[in-house]
Amino acid sequence: MEKPVKDAGNGSGRDERTGGGKGVNRRDFLRGVAVAGGAAFLGTPTDVQALHDLSGWPDRMGMLTDLTECVGCRSCEAACNAANRLPAPNAPFDEKSVFERKRRPTASAYTVVNRYENTKTPGNPIYRKVQCNHCEEPSCASACPVRAYTKTPEGPVLYNQDVCFGCRYCMVACPFYAPAYDYDSALEPKVVKCTMCHGRIKAGGIPACSGACPMGAITFGKRGTLLKVARDRIRKFPDRYVDQIYGEYEAGGTSWLYLSGVPFGQLDYPTNLPRKPIVENTKGFLSAVPLVLTLWPALLGLCYAANRNKEEKG
């Protein structure tokens, strides 16, 4: 059996995001409003369909997080921050007070770790790492009217900010609430999320969080191999794990898999998701949505940003 990669490695690739910094003048703003308004008037429906060809990629990669091994050190957060060149957080990565509230990924933190009480072993808290789960058939990609999302053959779901106009349908469609919106760049709409360090994978390396985990709680490898590893752990240690691999079937399956010692519902995982991809239930509706309904959020965002800049200068 092929062994998944567990230890750290200096991936020669780097997962970089295309930066902004490009201003929008009055002419460009008005041109954008005119083009969007014309398309909205026509009401062109979007072509949304399930991504049925994904089953042809048996070698796609995945991640396995064993929650029974995580100690809440937040090394994964620090590694993600460095790999993606994100701004430094307000509190340092060794600060434990962040566990006093539940956090979600943001534009400046693609992954976060939350703490939960352990009903099975009181006094021994459980830590859960949260990030994009990189669905096998991502609903964000199917909901996007401009095809800003791509499910890569390697496994990660990538986002192209150059074609995104900020409708945020992906945020509504995601069953795991993973995409975050960068509200600080309203004139340049951008949704941000974990990329599973696609650049590192393509270069033969491993995702930053996996390489940085000192406990080996995050394992990178082929998804099929990771499922076998997870099943073996459940079989060998039935008292340690619940008999479930979260992400194996949920919403059609995800590239990020989880093992836990307590029911996943106690850790805020959605437990009412269907086994088939979410898009199977929504593609008919989404295909009938006129483009006008997706453009209004972008237009309102542009108007808001323009007014805010005017007020700040005035």
**pLDDT digit string, tens, across residues 212-230:** 999 999 999 999 999 999 9
**Under DSSP, is residue 285 helix (H, G, I), strand (E, B) or coil?**
helix
pLDDT tens digit sequence for 258-284: 999 999 999 999 999 998 887 666 555
Q: Six-digit token pair at 258?
A: 């989880």
Averaged pLDDT of the chain: 79
Measured CA to CA in angstroms, residue 273 lies from 30, 59, 100, 227, 277 at distances of 42, 25, 28, 19, 9
Q: Is residue 135 part of a domain?
A: yes
Q: Is residue 17 part of a domain?
A: no
Our count of domains for the chain comes to: 1
Give the range of the structural domain holding residue 274, as residue numbers without chain letter. Answer: 47-313
Say how far apart CA 250 and CA 135 lie, in whole Å. 9
Average of per-residue pLDDT across 17-35: 40
Exposed/middle/buried for 88, CB within 10 Å: 0-12, 13-18, 19+? exposed
Question: Would you say residue 36 has pLDDT above 90?
Answer: no
Q: Is residue 114 part of a domain?
A: yes
Average of per-residue pLDDT across 151-179: 91
Q: Is residue 245 part of a domain?
A: yes
Which amino acid is residue 62, in one-letter code?
Answer: G
pLDDT confidence band for 41 (50 / 70 / 90): very low
pLDDT tens digit sequence for 162-171: 888 888 889 9
Q: Is residue 217 part of a domain?
A: yes
Instruction: Specify the residue for token string 């794990």.
Output: 241
Domain containing 65 — which CATH number? 3.30.70.20
Q: Which of 230-239, 289-298, 301-310 has the highest mean pLDDT?
A: 230-239
What pLDDT score was predicted for residue 4?
Answer: 55
Q: Is residue 31 part of a domain?
A: no
Exposed/middle/buried for 97, CB within 10 Å: 0-12, 13-18, 19+? exposed
What pLDDT score was predicted for residue 313?
Answer: 53
Q: Is residue 32 part of a domain?
A: no
Say how far apart CA 220 and CA 210 lie, in whole Å. 7
Question: Would you say residue 48 has pLDDT above 60?
Answer: no
pLDDT confidence band for 304 (50 / 70 / 90): very low
